[in-house]
Amino acid sequence: MSDSMQTLEKHTKSEYKYGWTSDIEMDTIPKGLSEDVVRMISAKKNEPQWLLDWRLEAFRIWSEMKEPDWAKLNINPIDYQDIIYFAAPKKQPKLNSLDEADPELLRTFERLGIPLNEQKVLAGVAVDAVIDSVSVTTTFKEKLSELGIIFCSFSEAVQEHPELVKEYIGSVVPRNDNYFAALNSAVFSDGSFCYIPKGVHCPMELSTYFRINAANTGQFERTLIVAEDDSYVSYLEGCTAPMRDENQLHAAVVEIFAKDRAFVKYSTVQNWYPGDKDGKGGVYNFVTKRGLCDGYRSRISWTQVETGSAITWKYPSCVLKGNESIGEFYSIAVTNNHQQADTGTKMTHLGKNTKSTIISKGISAGRSQNSYRGLVKIAKKAENARNFSECDSLLMGDRCGAHTFPYIEIENQSGKVEHEATTSKIGADQMFYCTQRGLSDEDAINLIVNGYCKEVFNELPMEFAVEAQKLLEISLEGSVG
Amino acid sequence: MNSSVIPKYQTEVPGHFRSLFESLESRLNGEKDLVFHQLRKKGSNRLLQIGFPTTRNEDYKYTALNRVFNENYYLPEQVSLDEQDEKAIRETAKKCPETDYICFVNGRYTPSLSSISSKDYTVLSLADQSEESELKKEAFQHIEKNLDESDNPFVQLNTALCEDPLMIHIKEGKKVEKPIQLIHYYKTGGESVIACPQIFVVAEENSEVNFLETHLTRPETRSEKIFANLFNRIVVESGASVVHHKIQDLGTEDFIIHNMVASQEKDSHFYAFTADLGSRITRNNLEVHLKNSFTQTDMFGLFVGGARQHIDNQTYLDHAIPNCESREWYKGVLGGRSRGVFNGKVLVRQDAQKTNAFQQNNTLLVSDHARMDSKPQLEIYADDVKCSHGATIGQMDSEILFYLKSRGLNEQQAGELVKIAFLAEVFESVDNEHIRKVIADVVVDNLREIYE
């Protein structure tokens, strides 16, 4: 026991790998939020009038809303006037190739291990990198555009494809959806836009990389994915932030619109700075993610590995509107030290013969609190809807908490809903079996935790799966209570 | 929910009950200074502070109380029971042979219709203070503490309007052989009535007792409504065992809010079973607090809903102590336009290592318009525990029905059999053979009704 506690301690004390800052010249606006700030952001981005109006309306809605307090989270009050709502790497003359980019910026991405360099074709990932709210560079753009795929920063999309943006923005997550979505709608600075035309199977993984760099900034990016009939795309998202003592706010919105027989797979490895081991600093990750399965047989699959953030408040959900549409949610949420997570999913069944699967694996260690909160709703007209939910929690250490709050609302008798959840620690018998076979305590825990998370790892694209497993090892290994 | 409703629940409705409290007070002559009346006053004051919950309150998310509060209630006057009423009570008492029974009419203890033969326990009226006793003092302390700690407005309301609180005291080491029936009979006299029985049970060390609580009325005789708002406080001392069954079969326009709080000492066992079959809106608030180790807690429930019934089971189990075990299982069948709610919360505190908690809710929906909302919650702060919960909601398995029909049963018989088998898993946990049979019979009757 004491051995493993030591190992746990060693690992929990291991420092956040991505905690450095980059000295990139930043273009920021003064702190605070007001209508003028919204106008300023919009003007900086040279946005059309309709988008400014859209933002201003969102700001009005936000000012009338109250911060939600229902989550099982202990949040230090956020001063919304003490945040810089826009920070971008200083504009340089338009670049023709990556070589001309700020070398400091390139180094940043190198340290992050992001294959920005297009020569790394082998990696086969198209990346849209977002630093402090602004999309810095998008790779593989030309190759994608041959197929008619639009993959660019949100601001580019506003300029070049305004009709698409106008049609779909807010169609899945309306401005008045919740407090943080309203805030994001008012001040979002950039993000990614992705459009997959009819019948196109996107040949590579599309990836967005988010990083908060400047101090006192909030990151408010917005991702919009539109998948036309019979299309397919797999989308990856990764995030890091420097170590800072104060909390940083990240309030993003992700919208996915899937039409007939389209399949969108959205994977996240979230590794925002979780704060130090005394719970100081770290990112507040308040994100609204929702996919609308609008078309017949459309399918949206969320996979997330959440290891970072001081506080996570996030419920990637699916609205299953099209008949026979499918929603999936695979999640691993790891909390350590003083981290708090209130995360889960919402599956709203509206169409006939819709199916949803929820697999959620929570691991809590240290003094962290980890909650699963999920809603499965089968509306009156959703005939033969089917849901299976499994939420397991693993506790490591006697100071942490694991909570499960499933909401199940069924209005149609033909629905079939199963929910099960277990909470336990790693069994002494499991440990005994492994160590008796010659594994060290640490390897045994790794093996058991990996096995425990296997169902979710299997859903991740390969590059991510490797990264996720490593992350998990760093966050946790070596704990048996 | 529009905002105009909230002041109503904060002031108007509590105000209505306040006036009932005042009329009760004016009825008392020299009894105003009695201890219990001070408690009533406290409850009434606390109620004005707390107000009633709206659906914005997380615990009342699925249960709107408008219907309950739209009615004007009166405190029950002494109603005279006719032959039919008395017959109904006797028949109910006889259904379960060899029992003692204690009868309450509109919440008032009625000795003339009760039969107490055992010497192993005593029944005391807490409002009657002609004799001083240590037991009563203790009871008052408990009730007062409960009022101070509880945020449940219905417990406050119950105490404020309770005319005749009753204490049942099981003596140390005594095993009460015959089950004790608590028969609640409701009757109106021209006006809708609120009945607030309060029963305070203390099972002393190593004692054993078995209750069967029945809620009974003849809805066909009246057009007014009954609002039963009960409070059972149960103290289970070391090594004691309290088994409590409840059958609720009120009229389909009546309301019942059943509050039960139990606390358990070392090595004790508490078993609660509820069968909710009648009433328009049913709300059960069941709370168990563990005070010491090695306890066993069982909460079982079944519900059968038809028409526009609304049945809401809330359970709260506080595992504050290590080495305790709990099982919780609620099953229901919903037909017509009925709605069911299950909100079970198991809290395992940091010190409660070696806790073993199991929670399950299964519901069968047998009509197009029935609806179920289930929220089995686990909140766990200790790591060496085994906790699990599960919930399923679905319809009858067509393969099973086909199998039964291929054996010659018709559609209705097959359906009935499946439903009974489904619910049987829960009522088979009832240990006492007679009580089990009484429950089985009334469940089968009710299942037939929702079928028709």
* C-beta of residue B171 within 8 angstroms of C-beta of residue B120: yes
Rounded to whole angstroms, the Cα distance separating B276 from B450 reads: 13
Averaged over B193-205, what is the pLDDT?
91
Which of A69, A355, A373, A413 to mutate: most B Cβ within 10 Å?
Answer: A413
Question: Which pLDDT score is estimated for A21?
Answer: 62
* C-beta of residue A427 within 8 angstroms of C-beta of residue B384: no
Rounded to whole angstroms, the Cα distance separating A28 from A32 reads: 12
Interface of A with B in 376-435 (CB under 8 A): 380, 393, 395-425
Question: Which pLDDT score is estimated for A3?
Answer: 47
* C-beta of residue B230 within 8 angstroms of C-beta of residue B198: yes
Question: Which pLDDT score is estimated for A461?
Answer: 73
Q: Using a CB-CB distance cutoff of 8 angstroms, which residues of chain A are in contact with residue B374?
A: 406-408, 410, 419
Question: Which pLDDT score is estimated for A474?
Answer: 61
Q: Does A281 touch chain B (CB under 8 A)?
A: no
> pLDDT digit string (tens) for A274-307?
777 777 777 888 889 999 999 999 999 998 888 8
Q: Please give, rounded to a whole number of angstroms, the shortest distance from the CA of A383 to a CA of chain B.
A: 10
Stated pTM of the model: 0.82
Rounded to whole angstroms, the Cα distance separating A199 from A230 reads: 5
Q: Using a CB-CB distance cutoff of 8 angstroms, which residues of chain B are in contact with residue A410?
A: 363, 365, 371-374, 393
Q: Residue B403: how many CA atoms within 13 Å on its side-chain side?
A: 7
> pLDDT digit string (tens) for B212-233?
999 988 888 888 889 999 999 9
* Cα distances (angstroms) measured from residue B338 to each of A481, B305, B335, B375: 46, 6, 6, 18
Mean pLDDT of chain B: 87
Q: Using a CB-CB distance cutoff of 8 angstroms, which residues of chain B are in contact with residue A420?
A: 388-391
**Residue B398 CB: number of other CB atoms within 10 A?**
8
DSSP string, B22-50: HHHHHH-SGGGGSHHHHHHHHHHHHHHHH
Interface of B with A in 376-405 (CB under 8 A): 376-395
CB–CB of A402 and B395 under 8 A?
Answer: no
Write the CB contacts of A471 (distance below 8 Å, at least 6 apart in sequence): A269, A271, A305, A307, A334
CB–CB of A481 and B374 under 8 A?
Answer: no
Q: Using a CB-CB distance cutoff of 8 angstroms, which residues of chain B are in contact with residue A5?
A: none
CB–CB of A413 and B390 under 8 A?
Answer: no
CB–CB of B380 and A408 under 8 A?
Answer: no
CB–CB of B383 and A409 under 8 A?
Answer: no
> pLDDT digit string (tens) for B303-318?
998 888 999 999 999 9
Q: Using a CB-CB distance cutoff of 8 angstroms, which residues of chain A are in contact with residue B377?
A: 403-406
Tell me the percentage of chain B whose pLDDT exceeds 70: 96
CB–CB of A418 and B392 under 8 A?
Answer: yes
**Which of B387, B198, B359 shows the shortest CA–CA distance to A401?**
B387
Q: Does A34 touch chain B (CB under 8 A)?
A: no
> Helix or strand or coil: residue A354?
coil
Question: Which pLDDT score is estimated for A7?
Answer: 45
According to DSSP, the residues that pair with A381 across neighbouring strands are: none
State the amino acid at position A53 in one-letter form: D
Is the pLDDT assigned to residue B234 strictly greater than 90? yes
Q: C-alpha dihedral over A115, A118, A120, A121, to 10 degrees? A: 120
CB–CB of B393 and A70 under 8 A?
Answer: no
Rounded to whole angstroms, the Cα distance separating A218 from B445 reads: 63
DSSP string, B208-266: EEEEEEEEEE-GGG-SS-EEEEEEEEEEE-TT-EEEEEEEE---TT-EEEEEEEEEE-T
A251: its two tokens: 């309030």
Q: Does B23 touch chain A (CB under 8 A)?
A: no
Averaged over B123-137, what is the pLDDT?
80
Rounded to whole angstroms, the Cα distance separating A265 from A251 reads: 21
Rounded to whole angstroms, the Cα distance separating B166 from B197 reads: 8
Q: Does B372 touch chain A (CB under 8 A)?
A: yes
* C-beta of residue B442 within 8 angstroms of C-beta of residue B99: no
Residue with tokens 């919360």: B345
> pLDDT digit string (tens) for B315-357?
999 998 999 999 999 999 998 899 999 999 999 988 888 888 9
Compare CB distances from B392 to A400, A417, A423 and report the shortest one's residue: A417
pLDDT band, residue B265 (cuts 50/70/90): very high
Interface of A with B in 52-91 (CB under 8 A): 70, 72
Q: Does B366 touch chain A (CB under 8 A)?
A: yes
* C-beta of residue A349 within 8 angstroms of C-beta of residue A321: no
Burial readout A61-95 (b: 16 or more C-beta within 10 A, e: otherwise) = bbeeeeeeeebebebeeeebeebbbbbbbeeeeee
Averaged over B265-290, what is the pLDDT?
93
Question: Which pLDDT score is estimated for A317?
Answer: 92
ipTM field: 0.75
Question: Which pLDDT score is estimated for A455?
Answer: 80
Inter-chain CB pairs, A–B, below 8 Å: 116
Q: Residue B252: how many CA atoms within 13 Å on its side-chain side?
A: 13
CB–CB of B390 and A414 under 8 A?
Answer: no
Per-residue pLDDT of chain A (481 residues; tens, 9 = 90+): 344 444 444 444 455 666 656 666 666 777 778 888 888 888 888 888 999 999 999 999 988 888 888 877 777 788 888 777 776 665 544 444 455 555 665 665 565 555 554 444 434 455 666 665 555 556 667 778 888 888 888 888 888 898 999 899 888 998 888 888 998 898 887 788 889 999 999 887 787 766 655 555 667 888 899 999 999 998 888 766 555 566 778 888 999 999 999 999 998 887 777 777 777 777 888 889 999 999 999 999 998 888 878 888 889 999 999 999 999 999 988 888 888 889 999 999 999 999 999 999 888 888 888 899 999 999 988 989 999 998 888 888 778 888 888 899 998 888 888 888 888 888 788 888 999 999 888 788 888 888 888 888 877 776 667 766 766 666 654 444 3
More confident of the two residues B103 and B29: B103
DSSP code, position B11: I
> Helix or strand or coil: residue A216?
coil
More confident of the two residues B7 and B190: B190
Residue with tokens 């996720």: A468
Compare CB distances from A481 to B62, B370, B383 and report the shortest one's residue: B383
CB–CB of A404 and B372 under 8 A?
Answer: no
Question: Which pLDDT score is estimated for B184?
Answer: 92
Averaged over B279-300, what is the pLDDT?
92
* C-beta of residue B128 within 8 angstroms of C-beta of residue B163: no
* C-beta of residue A181 within 8 angstroms of C-beta of residue A175: yes
More confident of the two residues A87 and B282: B282
Q: Does A352 touch chain B (CB under 8 A)?
A: no
Q: Does A50 touch chain B (CB under 8 A)?
A: no
CB–CB of A415 and B371 under 8 A?
Answer: no
A180: its two tokens: 């943080």
DSSP string, A51-69: HHHHHHHHHHHHHH-----
CB–CB of B380 and A416 under 8 A?
Answer: no
Question: Which pLDDT score is estimated for A94?
Answer: 45
Q: Using a CB-CB distance cutoff of 8 angstroms, which residues of chain B are in contact with residue A397?
A: 383
Q: C-alpha dihedral over B141, B147, B149, B155, to 10 degrees? A: 130
Give just the sign of the alpha carbon dihedral A116, A117, A120, A121.
Answer: positive
Rounded to whole angstroms, the Cα distance separating A224 from A164 reads: 10
CB–CB of B392 and A412 under 8 A?
Answer: no
